[in-house]
Amino acid sequence: MGATLDLVVVGAGIVGLSVALAAARKGKKVLVVERNAKAIGASIRNFGFITISGQKAGEHWERARRTRDVWAEVAEQAGIAVIHRGSVLPAYRPEAEAVMEAFLTTPMGMECRRLTPVEALAHVPALRADGMRAALWSPHELRVESREAIPKVAAWLEQRHGVSFQWNTVVTAIDGTRISTSRGPIEADACVVCPGDDFSTLFPQRVAAYGLRICTLQMLRVMPAIRTRFGAAVMSDLSYGRYEGFADLPEAAALCRRLDVEASEMRGLGIHLIAVQSADGSLVVGDSHVYGDAPEPFAKDRIDALIMEAFDQVFDLPGRRVVERWCGTYASARDRVVMVDRPADNIRLVMVTGGTGASTGFALGEQVVDTLFA
């Protein structure tokens, strides 16, 4: 008897939803199986910042461009608000300005441009003008509210594309076309496992071969004292020294050396600044990166204080209040930004291993589905 399902996807984070969408668009009958009653992992804890400028050059940057286009389509159809577009990266140190200028000469910089401080403030009036040398304008980015967007993507997949969901169900083993779950077995022709940072439930030996670590991030929601408009996402000098699309440029070496002296504690904790705005005017602000073999359970006040120090260096928002704090985790690899493993011809194990799944997941889902059903 043939299996009635073409594909089971394990995990209802953005990577699993992306695989489900790509397969459904090929006319496949898809079931997503998720351990929790709703997605509660990295995909709803992030900035909802669909980033292109700053992604690793080459294939990953291309993935981000494609993913942004899919997000634009999905957002419109699923009723997801795009809260702002583009990003502004002010450069306060001459070394950051040099990285910005170098980036603009690469193919990735072609649609971006240099802004004067006055032009930067026209996008984001809360920026500090004093000491700002220039800013990078990138037109590509989108910002969605992930905690609302991810459930809406799942509901839209169900209604529009006929994707089924089985919540509160753990997949415990996969053997050929038989998928064992905490609620009994399922038969499907193919299975794609998108477990986020769960390294131990499915194919643990195969996952172990990649030497992955867990990265824990601290995040804050900040309410300005007076309403201020963010017309774009904001990053900072620290981001030019961290995001691979900038930090891999030779010009970044001098910036990193300077940051290692002037901001050594922040650099040691992997802190850089991203600030994006929500519909109620509050700002999602982060983040830090602490690596280990398990999620870090305890959020450190010192890390939050350093993130807010980085925030106050870039924004002039006296009286701002922290109104929410949370941690998130993701799978991290030293040597790759994505991991696609092939336990069998009809099975794939997929992880985004560089903290960019919101920005690259839809394209990665298409790539995985193309090879799976080739």
Ligand X SMILES: Cc1cc2nc3c(=O)[nH]c(=O)nc-3n(C[C@H](O)[C@H](O)[C@H](O)COP(=O)(O)OP(=O)(O)OC[C@H]3O[C@@H](n4cnc5c(N)ncnc54)[C@H](O)[C@@H]3O)c2cc1C
Binding region for ligand X (CB under 6 A) out of 8-16, 131-139, 308-316, 333-341: 8-16
Residues composing the chain: 374
Among 7, 8, 9, 16, binds ligand X (CB under 6 A): 16
Name the token pair of 17: 């939803």
- Among 222, 296, 302, 298, smallest CA distance to 268 is for 302
Stretch that binds ligand X, among 45-53, 80-88, 160-168, 239-247 (CB under 6 A): 45-53
Q: What's the CA gap between 146 and 231, in Å, rounded?
A: 18
Among 5, 9, 23, 45, binds ligand X (CB under 6 A): 45
Backbone angles phi, psi at 197, to 5 degrees: -110, 25
> Nearest CA to 130 among 315, 361, 270, 342?
315
Give yes or no for residue 202 binding ligand X (CB under 6 A): yes
Residue pair 234/127 in contact (Cβ under 8 Å)? The answer is yes
Site for ligand X contains 270 (CB under 6 A): no
The answer to the question of residue 41 lying near ligand X (CB under 6 A) is: yes
Q: Is 14 in the site for ligand X (CB under 6 A)?
A: yes
DSSP letter at 166?
E
Q: Does 263 bind ligand X (CB under 6 A)?
A: no
Yes or no: say if 114 and 136 are a contact pair by the CB < 8 Å rule.
yes
Residue nearest to ligand X (CB): 13
Mark the segment that binds ligand X (CB under 6 A) among 35-43, 68-76, 94-102, 292-300. 35-43
Question: Which position has the token pair 């608000």?
Answer: 81
3-state secondary structure of 326: strand
Closer Cβ to ligand X, 43 or 177, answer by number: 43
CB nearer ligand X, residue 11 or residue 270 = 11
- Quick check: 46 binds ligand X (CB under 6 A)? yes
Residues between 166 and 185 that touch ligand X (CB under 6 A): 170-171
Q: Nearer to ligand X by C-beta: 13 or 270? A: 13
Contact between 53 and ligand X by CB under 6 A: the answer reads no
Nearest approach in angstroms of CB 222 to ligand X is 15
Give the CA angle between residues 40, 238, 213 to the nearest 5°.
45
Which residues are 282's β-sheet partners? none
Give dist(CA 374, CA 370) in Å, integer: 6
Q: Is 154 in the site for ligand X (CB under 6 A)?
A: no
- Is the Cβ–Cβ distance between 48 and 144 less than 8 Å? yes
Position among 134, 219, 255, 339 found at the interface with ligand X (CB under 6 A): 219
Instruction: Write the DSSP string, 225-293.
Output: SS----SSEEE-HHHHTTSHHHHTSTTHHHHHHHHHHHTHHHHHTT---EEEE-TTS-EEEE---EEES
Instruction: Specify the residue, 135 or 307, whose C-beta has the smaller distance to ligand X.
Output: 307
Beta bridge partners of 324: 221
Member of 87, 277, 359, 367 binding ligand X (CB under 6 A): 359
State which of positions 313-342 bind ligand X (CB under 6 A). 328-330
Contact 47, 284 (CB under 8 A): yes
Tell me whether the omega of the peptide bond preceding residue 304 falls within 30 degrees of 0, making it cis: no
Contacts with ligand X: how many residues (CB under 6 A)?
Answer: 41
Among 51, 87, 177, 239, binds ligand X (CB under 6 A): 51
| 347 membership: H or E segment, kind and range | strand 347-352
Interacting residue with ligand X among 201, 228, 282, 313 (CB under 6 A): 201
Is 54 a binding residue for ligand X by CB under 6 A? The answer is no
| Residues making contact with ligand X (CB under 6 A) | 10-16, 33-36, 39, 41-43, 45-47, 49, 51, 170-171, 194-196, 198, 201-202, 217, 219, 287, 328-330, 351-352, 355-359
